[in-house]
């Protein structure tokens, strides 16, 4: 069962990803991305990481994709149809395959010894996040703040502009 799900979800994940990078239509790309990200959430479920799956769907599916779509619409211009790949795409393919090769070789040469699959408790996760990882957590909040302020400052149009 888990094998079946794994293969299906992997297919969706990778297929969605390929869709993102290969399609000529930007909106399609965003939708492919959605597919891929949701499939990833499915993979998290196989891995018994329900919380992460939830977060994945909420943040990616609910927030990021929406923002992307907004951005696509805001930046839609006459040249979108011809937007696809740049001139170096064959090189890009080779480079990506090269990296894939190295990574796969690294993973497969001497696989890590593993134990039973397990599911960490929500409570433990939360406890850890707010005690041990409190400082990174707070810093992350500042990161979000900065992103927020930055997005506002940069995207906001003001009078002087024109």
Partner 1 sequence: MPELTQNIGLLSPEFALAGLALGILAIDLFLPDGKKQVTPWLSAAGLAGIIALSLYMLWGRQETLYGGLLAVDAFSLFFKVFFLGLGILIIFTSMEYVDRRLDNPGEFYGLLLLSILGMNVMAQSRELLTAYIALELLSFCLYVMAAYAKGEPKSNEAGLKYILIGAFSSAILLYGVSMIYSSVGVTRFADISLALGSAGDVSPALWAGLALLVVGLGFKVSAVPFHMWAPDVYEGAPLPVTAYLAIGSKAAAFALILRLVAEGFVPAEDLWSQWQIIFAVLAAVTMLVGNLVALAQTNLKRLMAYSSIGHVGFLLAGIAALAPSSVLASNGVMLYLVGYSITNLLVFAAIIAFFNLTGREEIVDLAGLADRQPFLAACIAIGFFSLGGLPIFAGFAIKFYLFVAVATGGFLWLAGLAIFASLISIYYYLKVIRQMYIEPVPEYVAAGSEREDGIVYEPEQNLSPSFLMLGVLAISMLAVVLAGVYPAPLLDLIEAASQAILPGA
Partner 2 sequence: MVPLAYFQLVSAGLFAIGLYGVLARRSAVLIVMSIELMLNAVNINLIAASSHLEGLANFAQFDGQIIAIFVITVAAAEVGLGLAIILRIHRNRSTVNVDEIDLMKW
Partner 3 sequence: MEWAWLIPVLSFIAAPLIVILGPKLPGKGSFLAILAIAAGFVIFWAVLSGFLGASPDSSHCETSADTGSLVCDYQQEWFHAGLASLDQSVTLTWGTLIDPLTLAMLGLVTFVALMVQVYSLGYMKGDPRLGWYYAVHAMFAGSMLTLVLADNFLLLYMAWELVGICSYLLIGFWHERPAAKEAAKKAFIVTRIGDVGLLVGILLLWSEVGSFSMSEAFNAATTGAMSEGVTTTAALLLLLGAMGKSAQFPFHVWLPDAMEGPTPVSALIHAATMVVAGVYLVARAFPIFQAYDGDALLVVAVVGLVTALMSASIALVSVDLKRILAYSTISHLGLMMLSLGAFGYTAAIFHLLAHGFAKALLFLGAGSVMHSTEAQDIRQMGGLIKVMPITAIVFSVGALSLGGIPLLAGFWSKDEILNAVSQNRNPVFIATAFVVAFMSAFYMARAMFVVFFGQLRQGLDHAHESPWLMTAPMMMLAVLAAGFGLINFNWPGAFPGFGGLIYFHEAEDFHFNLWIGVLSTVLALGAFWLASLCYLRERISPDILRQKAPWLAVVVENKYYFDEVYQWAVDRLVLTVSGFVALFDRAVVNDVGVNGPADTVRRVGFVLRLHVTGHLYSYALAMVLGTVGLAVLWWLRSV
Q: Enumerate binding residues for partner 3 (CB under 8 A).
A: 86, 88, 91-92, 95-96, 98-99, 102-103, 106
Question: What are the backbone dihedrals phi and psi of residue 84, each rounded to the nearest 5 degrees, phi first?
Answer: -145, -105
- Which residue in the set 8, 129, 134, 138 belongs to the binding site for partner 2 (CB under 8 A)? 129
d(CA 88, CA 40): 29
- Which residue in the set 11, 89, 122, 133 belongs to the binding site for partner 1 (CB under 8 A)? 133
CA dihedral 12, 15, 20, 22 (to 10 degrees): -170
Name the minimum Å distance from CB 3 to partner 3. Answer: 30
Burial 14-37 (b: 16+ CB within 10 A, else e): eebbebbeeeeebeebbbbbbbbb
- Which residue in the set 61, 138, 140, 160 belongs to the binding site for partner 2 (CB under 8 A)? 140
Tell me which residues touch partner 1 (CB under 8 A).
102-103, 105-107, 109-112, 131-136, 138-140, 142-143, 145-147, 149-150, 153-154, 158, 160-161
């Amino acid at each position: 069962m888990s094998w079946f799900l794994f293969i299906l979800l992997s297919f969706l994940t990778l297929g969605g990803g390929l869709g993102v990078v290969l399609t000529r239509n930007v909106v399609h790309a965003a939708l492919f991305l959605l597919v891929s990200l949701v499939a990833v959430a499915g993979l998290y479920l196989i891995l018994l990481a329900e919380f992460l799956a939830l977060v994945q769907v909420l943040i990616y599916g609910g927030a990021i994709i929406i923002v992307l779509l907004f951005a696509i619409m805001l930046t839609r211009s006459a040249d979108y149809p011809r937007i696809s790949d740049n001139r170096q795409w064959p090189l890009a393919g080779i480079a990506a395959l090269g990296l894939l090769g190295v990574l796969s070789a690294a993973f497969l040469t001497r696989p890590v010894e593993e134990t039973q699959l397990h599911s960490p408790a929500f409570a433990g996760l939360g406890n850890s996040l707010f005690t041990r990882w409190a400082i990174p957590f707070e810093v992350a909040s500042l990161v979000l703040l900065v992103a927020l302020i930055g997005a506002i400052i940069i995207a906001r149009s003001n009078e002087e502009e024109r």
